[in-house]
Amino acid sequence: MSNFLVQMFTWWNGATIGTRFYTWRKGTRVGEDEFGNVYYQGGKDAEGRTRRWVIYNGLAEASAIPAGWHGWMHHRTDRSPAEESYTPREWQKPHLANRTGTPEAYRPKGSQLNPEERPTVTGDYDAWSPGS
């Protein structure tokens, strides 16, 4: 029962009841990414294009969408990653969701949350001081 209430009253936990109903009525499943997010299309948007949306696997976090699916969602391409056999180049890193606000967030040297000492200035920067 609590899972039903969470889905009924929150938009950040997967999909709302309205989105699930719209998906059931008008959606055609296009594919799924490696994180378990499921992509749909159906109906038309205000500009006459096919409407595209995602039902997240877990929290609704836009940075959890890999680059290929992001391009498809924003109509940069008509072919979804599910229709292509894309293999990443050896220099490409795997997609990571935004880590801001988590223990894995980037904290440069000198940050209040990083105990390492900030590198000393090398002379290419002079701090502003009033009157100079």
Dump pLDDT digits (tens) for 41-98: 999 989 999 999 999 888 888 888 888 899 999 999 899 999 988 777 889 888 877 8
Give the rounded distance of the alpha carbon of 46 from its chain centre.
Answer: 23
Task: Evaluate the CA torsion angle 21, 25, 26, 31 in order and state its sign.
Answer: positive
The strand order across the sheet containing 28-32 reads 28-32, 38-44, 50-55
Predicted local distance difference test score (pLDDT) of residue 42: 93
CB 38 within 8 A of CB 57: yes
Mean pLDDT of 17-45: 90
Give the rounded distance of the alpha carbon of 49 from its chain centre.
Answer: 22
Cα separation, 46 vs 127, in Å, equals 51
The residue type at 75:
H
Place of tokens 């220099």: 91
Mean pLDDT of 114-125: 75
Confidence of residue 1 (pLDDT cuts 50, 70, 90): low
Mean pLDDT of 101-124: 80
Rounded percentage of the chain residues whose pLDDT exceeds 90: 26
Predicted local distance difference test score (pLDDT) of residue 37: 93
Of residues 50 and 13, more confidence is placed in 50
